[in-house]
A and B are shown apart, each in its own frame.
Chain A
Amino acid sequence: MTTAPLPRRRLMPRWRDYGRPRELVVRYLLLLFVLAITVGPLLWQLLASLKSTSEDVFGANASLLPQHPTLRAYEAIFDQVPVATYIRNSMIVVVLSLASQLIFSTTAGYMLSKPGWKGRKAVWVVLAASMMFPFEAIMVSLFLSIRDLGLVDNLVGVWLPGFVGAINVLLMRGAFLAVPREIEDSAMLDGASEWQRFRYLYLPSAWGAIMVVVINTFISAWDDFLWPLIVLRSEHNMTLTLGLSRLQSSSFGYDQRLVMAGSVISIIPVLVLFVITQRWFYKGVSAGAVKF
């Protein structure tokens, strides 16, 4: 008896499996076109930051690629501008925001996902109401509060309004609701306390939502501009976005390569975070669907 040979299967699909060649070419051309539009300006910034002082950045003689690539601008910006201070200040705001947002959005989200306690609705109403008001429509009053607390020109004043966001509480609540009730019941029978159930059952199963909170908090604290612009005054307190915009506007004829180097530096942390957490990034958008 002979065994029939197995049909040969290709592991890798062939190009023609993806569609007609003409359609494919059009698709890739369109993709490259959009790529040039979306990444082009940022890439140009990176390339220009690598140019040496003898090369033009602007004007008819400026070339796209640096002829003599050098990291001089990256050294110079740390020498001539307090960029290290800016970065430290931004980091302080980011770390404070991450800590408070993570701790309190998970605890509040956990309790809001639990039925059967009085006042749940009241808490819910206050949280929902706080999301109705656009930040720009309440920033005058917010600033007066920060002033009364004596936190003008203070990084704590930048952090405080972003202490814990209602949106993150809702996100965590949704994630905790997805945990099956039966698992918690059996954990209770085994004598697990409220804290133990929260820590060892709920937190690990909401990992995806936690990453989304991390990413959203990091980006909004690191990239924020308007609120630090209102609160901060002196140079040694400025965050990176504030410092960059001031560097650009204050000094005409300044070496533009330095500002470009600063821009590249400011993108790197977010880019690294994005690469690490990419799969949660996409999930978060479809799950949260709330941030602008």
Chain B
Amino acid sequence: MATQTVKPVSVPGAEPTSAPGTAPSRLRRLARALLPGPAPGANGAALYRRWWLPWLWTAPALVCAAVFGVFPFLNTVLLSFTDAKPLGGAANFVGLSNYTRMLDDSDFWLATRNSVLYALIVVPLMVLLPLMLAVLVEKKLPGIGFFRSAFYTPVLASSVVVGLSWQWLLADDGLINTWLQKAHLIRHAIPFLSDSWLILFCAMGLTLWKGLGWYMIFYLAALGNVPRELHEAAAMDGAGAIRRFWHITVPGVRQAMMLVGTLTGIGSLRVFTEIFMLGSYTGGPGGADRTLPFYIRDVGLDPLTGNAGYGSAVSVALFLLTLGLTLLAQRLTKEDES
């Protein structure tokens, strides 16, 4: 093992830097930066470690990140200028034609609209509802542990199982329609699963329902940092629960809210399974509920009609949308802090 050798003198890179006053030559600095060995100024265990050991230990993670993270992205950009097929065959360079096709493609714009609408509706609700829930379960009451865990169970179930469950509840003869009819609130079943708008809204509800528990736990940690005295003082002054929520709790967990907003915004652009489960494999009637990931899979990865080049162009659009959202969120956070 590298550390058994206790000979600090001969370890490369460990020589004392040149005498004070004389700066090391440029060549020497370059050599020190490139030659294997500990980094300049290293001490302790770093001096005894063989130069390749850190590389060996980090190699699997590095290779995985490069091959399944960075390379696919660069490759996606390249592919978007070709007409590659998902099942193989020669790919030809087609210039910008995928992008011009995309801009004229009404289905692409429909998918973009659905994804953006998804984010616009889900983000504010997902920022506020779990916070209210966290306030509700924050107080240590008898049995509160049970409630917290129970609220978390939808997070554990897979989107498929949750989707199946909702599909049955929302069916024409499902529980919700049956109850509404029994209560004589409606005469005919509400077409939750056949009207394209209702499918989209139900899918949003599903996303919210599945994420509630996760962000509740997230907010619980943030709520611990809001000083109790503020609440007590405000209560003394006669502020009700709702006013205390808006004027003490919300400003107290602002940063957490910003982070939740960013995460849910990015997450909304990634929605696939909810639409697949509630709107079937077509993505709603005539594909009217398809989101961008759904559309990428349809146009890019269909074994028969797919065009991986065009799918890649849509993927680049999805990436740009995500990037724009992230930058916007960063900017808002910065403005908020100053």
Give residues in A with beta carbon < 8 Å to B. 18-19, 24, 27-28, 30-31, 34-35, 37-39, 41-42, 44-45, 48, 57-60, 62, 100, 103-105, 107-108, 110-112, 114-120, 123, 126-127, 129-145, 147, 160-161, 163-164, 166, 169, 181, 184-185, 188, 191-197, 219, 222-226, 230, 241, 244-245, 248-249, 256, 259-260, 263, 266-267, 270-271, 274, 278, 281-282, 285-286, 289-290, 292
Contact = CB atoms under 8 A, between A and B. Distances in A.
B178 A59 contact: yes
B276 to A, nearest CB: 7
Nearest to B212: A38
B246 interface: no
Q: A-side binding surface: helix, strand, loop or mixed?
A: helix
Contacts of A143: 86, 301, 308
B267 to A, nearest CB: 4
Interface residues of B, number: 112
A44 B164 CA distance: 12
Among A138, A140, A142, A188, residue most surrounded by chain B Cβ atoms (within 10 Å): A140
B265 to A, nearest CB: 10
Given A130-B70, A138-B315, 16 more contacts: A24-B141, A38-B212, A58-B178, A60-B178, A108-B62, A111-B58, A118-B38, A133-B73, A144-B79, A166-B65, A194-B53, A225-B272, A266-B161, A267-B157, A278-B149, A289-B259
Interface SS, B side: helix
B316 A41 contact: no
B151 A164 contact: no
A104 B322 contact: no
A190 to B, nearest CB: 11
Nearest to A271: B156
Contact of B160 (A104, A105, A244): A244
B194 interface: no
A46 to B, nearest CB: 10
A62 B301 contact: no
A287 B94 CA distance: 47
Given A38-B212, A225-B273, A289-B259, A104 B61 contact: yes
10 contacts: A27-B139, A108-B62, A114-B54, A115-B42, A130-B69, A134-B266, A136-B293, A161-B68, A194-B49, A282-B217
Contact of B57 (A44, A110, A222): A110
A144 B75 CA distance: 10
A292 B296 contact: no
Contacts of B149: 274, 278
